[in-house]
C-alpha cells in the first residue's frame, strides 16, 4: 500500500533514486517490550495450565482463554510498531527529498533539491558499526531543517542526495538540449541522452524519441 501511495505523489518526470527507512534497530527497540511480554505471558499460561491439569482444577479451561486475551495486547501494539516502521519512508527522487510517515493518516514533508543548501551527517561509533545515523538537511525553504534520525545506511543516502542535486543543477533540460552541429556529434549526443536516462532525468519514452530524432539526421 505504501508503494502505491508513494507513486501517486510523483510528478510526470519524477523518478525514485533511493527509498529507505529507519534502521532495523529502531524497529527492534520498539517491539522489544512486546516480544518479552509475549514470551512471559505464553510461558506463564502454559506453566499454570500444566499445573492445574495435574491437580484437576476446574480453572484449567479458563486460564488459556485469559492467557490468549492477554497475548492480544502486546501482539496488537507490536503490529502497530511494525506498520509504523514500514510506512515511515525516506525518499530521494530526481527533483526532491521526501519523508513519508503514517499508517492511515499520512504526513509528507519534502524539500526541492534546488533548495537544499547543506547536508549534515552524524554517526556514532556504534552507528558506523551497524550502519545507521542521522541526516540533517538544511534548506532555503520555510521548513529550514529536515532531520532524518537513525536511517539505514546514511552514507549511501547522503551520497545519493548529493549526486541527485548535482545532476539537477548541471544536467541540461531535454527541452533545451541544442541540436548537434554536425553528424559526427550525433553519437556523442545519444550517449549523453543515455546518461540522462540513467540518472532519471529522461524517461525511456523520451530517450527513444530523442534518439530517433537524432538518428533521422544521419
Q: Where are the domains of the chain?
A: 2-22+88-170, 26-85, 171-218
> What is the reported pLDDT for 132?
95
Check residue 214 and give its pLDDT.
Answer: 77
152, containing H or E segment: strand 145-152
CB atoms within 10 A of CB 131: 16
pLDDT at position 189: 81
Residue 167 near residue 94 (C-beta atoms within 8 A): yes
**Cα–Cα dist 159/6, whole Å:** 22
pLDDT tens digits, 35-63: 999 999 999 999 998 988 888 877 778 98
- Grid coordinates standing for 52? 492445574
CATH of 2-22+88-170, one of 3.40.1010.10, 3.10.20.30, 3.30.830.10, 2.30.29.30: 2.30.29.30
**Residue 121's pLDDT is what?**
93
Would you state the pLDDT for residue 156?
Answer: 93
Q: Residue 1 gets which letter from DSSP? A: -
Counting as low any pLDDT under 70, the low residues of the chain are: 1-2, 141-144, 171-184, 199-202, 218
The confidence score (pLDDT) of residue 190 equals 81
One DSSP character per residue, 26-88 reads HHHHHHHHHHHHHHHHHHHHHHHHHHHHHTT-GGGTHHHHHHHHHHHHHHHHHHHHHHHHHT-
Question: What one-character DSSP code corresponds to residue 174?
Answer: T
Strand order in the sheet with 96-101: 16-21, 89-93, 96-101, 107-112
Model pLDDT for residues 56-97, shown as the tens digit of each residue: 877 778 988 999 999 999 999 999 999 999 999 999 999 999
Amino acid at each position: 500500500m505504501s508503494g502505491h501511495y508513494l507513486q501517486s505523489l510523483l510528478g510526470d518526470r519524477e523518478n525514485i533514486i533511493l527509498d529507505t527507512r529507519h534502521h532495523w534497530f529502531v524497529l527492534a527497540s520498539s517491539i522489544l517490550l512486546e516480544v518479552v511480554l509475549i514470551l512471559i505471558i505464553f510461558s506463564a499460561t502454559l506453566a499454570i495450565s500444566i499445573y492445574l491439569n495435574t491437580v484437576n482444577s476446574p480453572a484449567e479451561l479458563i486460564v488459556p482463554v485469559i492467557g490468549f486475551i492477554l497475548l492480544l495486547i502486546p501482539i496488537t501494539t507490536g503490529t502497530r510498531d511494525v506498520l509504523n516502521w514500514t510506512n515511515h519512508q525516506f525518499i530521494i527522487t530526481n527533483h526532491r527529498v521526501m519523508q513519508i510517515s503514517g499508517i492511515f493518516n499520512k504526513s509528507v514533508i519534502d524539500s526541492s533539491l534546488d533548495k537544499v543548501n547543506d547536508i549534515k551527517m552524524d554517526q556514532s561509533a556504534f552507528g558506523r558499526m551497524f550502519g545507521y545515523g542521522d541526516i540533517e538537511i538544511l534548506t532555503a525553504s520555510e521548513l529550514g531543517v529536515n532531520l532524518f534520525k537513525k536511517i539505514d545506511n546514511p552514507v549511501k543516502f547522503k551520497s545519493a542526495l548529493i549526486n541527485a542535486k548535482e545532476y539537477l543543477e548541471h544536467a541540461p533540460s531535454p527541452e533545451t538540449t541544442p541540436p548537434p552541429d554536425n553528424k559526427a556529434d550525433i553519437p556523442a549526443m545519444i550517449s549523453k541522452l543515455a546518461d540522462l536516462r540513467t540518472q532519471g532525468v529522461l524517461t525511456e519514452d523520451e530517450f527513444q524519441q530523442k534518439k530517433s530524432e537524432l538518428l533521422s539526421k544521419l
